[in-house]
Structure 1
Amino acid sequence: MLPTLDARLTAAAELVRPGQPVADIGCDHGKLTAVLAASGRYPKVIGADLRPGPLAKAKQTLENAGCLDRAELRLGDGLSVLSAGEVGSIVLAGVSAQTTWEIIEKAPWVSAVGGPRLVMVPATRHSELRRWLWQHGFALVADRPVQAAGRWYAVMAAEYTGEVIEPTFTRCLLGDTGRWPEGAGYAAWQRAKLPRMRLGVPDGSALAAEMDAILKEGN
């Protein structure tokens, strides 16, 4: 029986490049790995996790879905389980923004023109991940706001171009989520966190002025 994905993992699956191998890093229960493998859209599907426990669960999920023979499970840390050029897309879902970029930094081969597409669902600090990507030469090809279990997530897809951008705070806060029907709800959720963030920013700074402008607009 094929597992059911929540909105964030469904959106992530839709951003994977079809026709190319894909890796689900930090696959945990293996639900996304199973759905990708069962779809038949990818010549190779790799599910990987740092711990044996989740991999055992993933194996059971794949067996229950009838697609164990169409996926490969690997035990290892981050992208160390992959070799350069092995996959066309890498999914990093459910970890913090910082953990996401630390995983990317440990695999320099990802930061190459023509390299893999990164499909990310950061659990926290969406704006900081956007800033890191732009400052390190990645372009966001998708930035979709989704709601799951009462929380907002940003499902991002990025590809390396080498073009470094120094984005504004506002652009990092909202990214390209405004293009989606759910963008207004996501923006309201992001803005609701601003007053607390503003407390730690010195008055008179450029960042304070930008935050104050956003708060004024929201009111």
Structure 2
Amino acid sequence: MLPTLDARLAAAAELVRPGEPVADIGCDHGKLTAVLAASGRYPKVIGADLRPGPLAKAEQTLEHAGCKDRAELRLGDGLSVLTENEVGSIVLAGVSAQTTWEILEKAPWVFTARGPRIIMIPATRHDALRRWLWEHGFRFVADRPVQAAGRWYAVMAAEYTGETHEPTFAECLFGGTGVWPEGKGYADWQKAKLPRMRLGVPDGSALAAEIDAILKEGTER
């Protein structure tokens, strides 16, 4: 039986490049790995995790889904389980923004034009990950707001171009989520966190002015 994906992982699956190998890094119980393998759309599907326990459960998931022969499971840290040009898409789901970029920084081959598409679902600090991606030469292919289990997530897909961008705070806060039907709900959720954030920002700073402008815009609508 094929596992059911939540809204986050379903959105991530839609962003994987078809017809090219794909790696699900930090695959946990292997649900996404199994769905990708069962689809038959990818010549190779790799599921990887740092711990043996989740990897053993991922193997069971693949077996129950009837696609154990169409996926390869690897034990290892981050992208160390992959070689350059081995996959066309890499999924990094459920880790913090900082862990996401630290994983990428350990694999220099990711920073290559026409390199792999990176699909991310940061568990925290969406704004920080957006800033890091722009400042390190990545272009967004998608930035989709998704609600799952009562929480808002951003499912991001980016590809390296080498062209850097210095974003505003508002760009980092909302990204490209405004083009989606769920964009308003995500924006409201992001704005709700601003008053508390503002308390730690010095008056008169550029960041304070940006936050104040966003909060003022919200009250005037």
SS at match of 2:61: helix
d(CA) in 1 for partners of 2:171, 2:101:
19
Pair 1:94-2:94 in alignment: yes
Alpha-carbon distance in 1 for matches of 2:202, 2:157: 33
1:205 Cα deviation from its structure 2 partner: 0.6
The alignment status of 1:11 with 2:11, answered yes or no, reads yes
Aligned to 1:106: 106
In the alignment, what sits opposite 1:55? 55
- Alignment-derived partner of residue 161 in structure 1: 161
In 1, Cα distance between equivalents of 2:78 and 2:184? 34
Query: For 2:140 and 2:197, how far apart are their aligned partners in 1?
Result: 25
TM-score (norm 2): 0.99
Residue number in structure 2 paired with 1:202: 202
* Structure 2 segments unaligned to the other structure (5+ residues): none
User: Residue 126 of structure 1 aligns with which residue?
Assistant: 126
Q: Partner residue of 1:184?
A: 184
**Letter in structure 1 aligned against 2:24:** D
CA distance in 1, matches of 2:198, 2:163: 30
Matches for 1:76-91 after TM superposition, within 5 Å: 76-91=76-91
TM-aligned CA deviation for residue 119 of structure 1 = 0.3
Letter in 2 for 1:213: A
Tell me how far apart the structure 1 counterparts of residues 125 and 35 of structure 2 sit (CA, whole Å): 27
String of CA shifts for 1:12-63, please: whole Å, max 9, x gaps: 0000000000000000000000000000000000000000000000000000
Q: Which amino acid aligns with 2:99?
A: T
Equivalent runs, 1:208-219 vs 2, <5 Å = 208-219=208-219
The SS at the match of 2:163 is coil
Q: What amino acid is aligned across from residue 41 of structure 2 in structure 1?
A: R
CA distance in 1, matches of 2:210, 2:117: 32
- Partner deviation per Cα, 1:135-165 (whole Å, 9 max, x = no partner): 0000011000000000000000000000010
CA distance in structure 2 between the partners assigned to 1:149 and 1:60 by the alignment: 24
SS at match of 1:23: strand
The number of residue pairs the alignment matches comes to 219
Amino acid at match of 1:93: A
Superposed structure 1 runs of 4+ greater than 4 Å apart:
none
Whole-Å separation in 2 of the counterparts to 1:167 and 1:14: 27
Letter in 1 for 2:71: A
- How far is 1:108 from its partner? 0.3
The residue aligned with 2:139 is: 139
In structure 1, stretches of 5+ residues that fail to align are none
TM-score, reference length from structure 1? 1.00
- Partner amino acid, structure 1, of 2:17: R
Alignment partner of 1:190: what SS?
Answer: helix
Q: Which amino acid aligns with 2:165?
A: I
